[in-house]
Amino acid sequence: MSGGSGAHNRDYEVSVRGTKYLWGSAGIAQDVDLPLLLHVGNDVLGEQVSISTVANGAQTAIGTINAGEYVTIPLQSLSGVVANCAFNSTVHCAIRRA
Query: Does residue 31 lie within any of the structural domains?
Result: yes
* Selection from 79, 83, 25, 73 nearest residue 52 by Cα: 83
Predicted structure pTM score: 0.89
Query: Does residue 4 lie within any of the structural domains?
Result: no
Are 93 and 11 within 8 A, CB to CB? Answer: yes
Give the domain CATH number at 49.
2.60.120.1380
- For residue 38, the enclosing domain spans 9-97
Query: Does residue 77 lie within any of the structural domains?
Result: yes
Query: Does residue 3 lie within any of the structural domains?
Result: no
Residue 6 has pLDDT above 70, yes or no: no
Residue 77 has pLDDT above 90, yes or no: yes
**% pLDDT > 90, the chain:** 79
Whole-number pLDDT of residue 34 = 87
pLDDT band at 9 (very low <50, low <70, confident <90, very high): confident
Q: How many domains does the chain have?
A: 1
Residues 6+ apart with CB under 8 A from 44: 67, 68
Instruction: Give 43-68 pLDDT, tens digit per residue.
Output: 999 999 999 999 998 999 999 999 99
